[in-house]
Amino acid sequence: MASNVTADEARAIAQALQGSTNDAHKSVHVETRQFERPLRLSGVEIDALREKLRKTSFEVARELGGPMRMSPTLDLVELCEVNAESVHAGLVAPFAVLRFEIDKQPGWLMWDCPAALATLDVALGAASPGQSAARKFTPIERAMFTRILGPAVARLTKALGLAVANPSVAQDLESLGSWRQGGDKAETQRLLVSFDLGGVGGTSRWRLFLPGVVPSSKSGGKPEKPLPLPAHLAEVLVDVKAHLGANDVPLADLLALEVGDVIPLRMEVGEPLRVLVEDQGCLRAVLGRSHDKLAIRVTQVERPKSDG
């Protein structure tokens, strides 16, 4: 029977099966997860971050009491890792977002726009909040929005060892931006922290997207090193390709090509390259040079999407 398994791979599989047979009497706990979501932090690290944010949320709620002229509550409801492409999902302008940067990578705090407007009404001196639908902020509302949310984001991120810079109001997709604006360090990884805010007009939702992987609480700010590769897998070769771009060309144009003609690629200048490992896209990189040879520098690691 024909097989596409190489001799090296066959030996590695055989050794792995032999090891699993010897350890068959051992019970193993397996945690289920959704493979379409990024996962760099362990369950222990997530729990540690969750505890830090819970403690800090009480302080943030107390500070919000001034502009809200009441005693609000801020309850942590979700903490997980997500792909930053999901930031734009379901957004319809005008929305209420505080955009900021952490190590030059964009992050966002999203708030229900009607709830934000009701809070701004009270903060600006109204006896009771108005019943306005989502709309663009006035200049004074923009300033108050940043004044209320800026310190809250700064306190929450400080609890995780992160520093916030350049807060600004975003109410449309252009001002919201995307993860690609992070320069050479741009990556899609984000930590999503969701809170229920009990405040003016009832309960609303805060969704805080923090750029990058939050430093491990167990390693002094550095992520833990991955486990060493098993010896029987060390010599297995894998195919790595850098995808520089592609385009569709009409057959007539293709047959008419001459030396010196230029074929543009469907790719912007400076856009990260897609790197394929065994035909699975799981890396992003930028083009460069090393020792007088064309090379790539890896800027981001992504898990291949599950077909399920």
Residues forming a β-bridge with 298: 285
Q: Which helix (H) or strand (E) is 240 found in, with range?
A: strand 240-243
pLDDT of residue 264: 84
Phi, psi torsion values for 248, nearest 5 degrees: -100, 130
Contact 305/38 with Cβ under 8 angstroms? no
Going along the chain from its start, the domains and CATH numbers come out as 43-211 (3.40.1550.10), 238-248+266-308 (no CATH)
pLDDT tens, 100-138? 999 999 999 999 999 999 999 999 988 788 777 899 999
- Mean residue pLDDT of the chain comes to 82
The pTM (predicted TM-score) of the whole model is 0.62
- Whether residue 221 is predicted with pLDDT greater than 80 in this model: the reply is no
pLDDT of residue 238: 86
pLDDT band at residue 220, thresholds of 50, 70 and 90? very low
DSSP 270: T
pLDDT band at residue 71, thresholds of 50, 70 and 90? very high
Q: 79-94 burial string, b = 16+ CB within 10 Å, else e?
A: bbbbbbeebeeeeeee
- Whether residue 214 is predicted with pLDDT greater than 60 in this model: the reply is no
pLDDT tens, 147-196? 999 999 999 999 998 999 999 999 999 999 999 898 888 888 899 999 99
What's the maximum distance between 2 C-alpha atoms anywhere in the chain?
80
Residue 39, C-beta contacts closer than 8 angstroms, at least 6 positions apart:
33, 81, 303
pLDDT of residue 2: 55
pLDDT tens, 258-294? 888 888 887 776 677 888 888 888 888 888 777 778 8
pLDDT of residue 44: 85
Sheet with 202-211, side-by-side order of all strands: 73-83, 189-199, 202-211, 105-111, 96-102, 165-170
pLDDT of residue 217: 44
- Whether residue 243 is predicted with pLDDT greater than 70 in this model: the reply is yes
pLDDT of residue 308: 45
CA distance from start to end of the chain: 28
Number of H helices and E strands in the chain, helices first, is 6, 10
Cα–Cα distances in angstroms (integers) from residue 242 to residues 77, 181, 247, 286, in the given order? 40, 22, 16, 10
Phi-psi region of 206 (alpha: psi -120 to 50; beta: other; left: phi over 0): beta
